[in-house]
């Protein structure tokens, strides 16, 4: 197997993937099997095994490529040690690995693939590469993406409870001797809440936008908890929207698309 991201991501060929003990030896917890021409592999029950039967050329359905790339992207973000395997480990595996890395880091597929192929042998299929870009056109260009917002709160524990009620999950962190704070991480975005050292550090002019799955229920729960409702649910071109205030007085724009 060839290590792509230290301790997180490897690519392998069919023979290597079927040596189950060696495949799992580095601590691998997930295996992505791409080879349509190979038989499925029977891994232990506690191993996440996903089979996406991909042709090393054109003709792959867009939904299949999208589901495969998104799955690998989420596994990378969740720090699940993952192996991606195909027949030779030279085309499908590098392309899918590069696409997931590009998705996670905001790179173009070309840039991610060039970095990946510098680490070892490869035989990339131009037809499959085109198929992937047709399925996910955003991978054709690199672009900066917002991936972090830091809020200062006069009562961070209360702020954490508020945002957790909206569906975010926070964990307490401390970097070295820095202040204790709370972080919520999704696939490509992190929200951190730090204690404010003074009232001036709480910026009430900042607004936060969040997508929610059921805006009517969310507003009902917030109303019951006596949260300030700035704007009740209204319908717009992009979906249903309401605006509330967080415990520090910031506007939080809730959208159900």
| End-to-end Cα, the chain, rounded Å | 42
User: Which band of pLDDT confidence, cut at 50, 70 and 90, is reported for residue 25?
Assistant: very high
pLDDT at residue 238 in the model = 85
Domain ranges, residue 24: 2-140
**Amino acid 59: pLDDT:** 92
The residue-averaged pLDDT of 69-74 equals 96
CA distances (Å), origin 41, targets 48, 49, 50, 75, 114:
12, 8, 10, 19, 30
- Of 109, 105, 115, the C-alpha closest to 144 is 105
Rg for the chain (alpha carbons), in Å? 22
How high is the pLDDT of residue 24?
Answer: 97
Nearest to 28 by CA among 98, 94, 81: 81
Confidence of residue 142 (pLDDT cuts 50, 70, 90): low
Last residue of a domain, one of 104, 121, 140: 140
Length of the chain in residues, anyone?
257
Number of domains forming the structure of the chain: 2
**Beta strands 171-173; 148-153: pairing state:** unpaired
Give pTM, 2 decimals: 0.62
Please name the residue that has the structure tokens 């809440």: 193
- Greater pLDDT, 69 or 257: 69
Looking at residues 194-212, what average pLDDT do you find? 94
Q: What is the CATH number of the domain that holds 17?
A: 3.90.190.10
What order of strands is seen across the sheet that includes strand 2-5?
A: 2-5, 9-12, 82-85, 30-35, 48-54
- Give the integer Cα–Cα distance in Å for 81 and 30: 6
134 and 156 in a single domain? The answer is no
pLDDT at 215: 95
| Rounded Cα distance, 7 and 1, in Å | 12
**Cα–Cα distances in Å, from 257 out to 65, 133, 185, 243?**
24, 26, 21, 15
Last residue of a domain, one of 120, 140, 160: 140
Considering the domain architecture, whether residues 68 and 190 belong to the same structural domain is answered as no
How far is residue 90's CA from residue 35's CA, in Å, rounded to a whole number? 12
Residues 89, 51 share a domain: yes
| Domain of residue 230, CATH code | 3.10.180.10
State which of 140, 174, 209 marks the end of a domain.
140
């Amino acid at each position: 197997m060839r290590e792509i991201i230290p301790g997180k991501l490897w690519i392998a060929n069919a023979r290597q993937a079927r040596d189950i003990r060696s495949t799992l030896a580095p601590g691998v917890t997930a295996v992505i099997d791409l080879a349509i021409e190979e038989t499925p592999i029977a891994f232990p029950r506690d191993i996440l095994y996903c089979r996406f039967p991909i042709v090393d050329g054109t003709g792959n359905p867009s939904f299949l490529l999208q589901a495969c790339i998104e799955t690998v992207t989420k596994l990378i973000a969740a720090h699940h040690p993952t192996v991606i395997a195909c027949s030779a480990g030279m085309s499908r595996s590098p392309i899918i690995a590069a696409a997931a890395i590009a998705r996670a880091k905001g790179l173009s597929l070309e840039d991610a693939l060039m970095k990946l192929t510098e680490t070892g042998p490869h035989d990339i299929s131009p037809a499959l590469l085109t198929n992937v870009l047709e399925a996910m056109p955003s991978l054709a260009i690199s672009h900066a993406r917002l991936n972090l917002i830091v809020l200062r709160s006069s009562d961070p524990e209360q702020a954490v409870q508020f945002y957790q009620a909206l569906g975010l999950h926070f964990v307490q962190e401390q970097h070295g001797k820095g202040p204790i704070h709370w972080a919520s991480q999704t696939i490509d975005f992190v929200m951190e809440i730090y204690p404010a050292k003074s009232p001036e550090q709480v910026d009430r002019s900042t607004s936060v936008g969040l997508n929610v799955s059921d805006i009517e229920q969310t507003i009902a729960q917030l109303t019951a908890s006596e949260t300030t409702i700035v704007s009740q649910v209204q319908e717009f071109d992009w979906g249903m929207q309401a605006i509330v205030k967080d415990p520090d007085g910031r506007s939080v724009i809730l959208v159900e698309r």
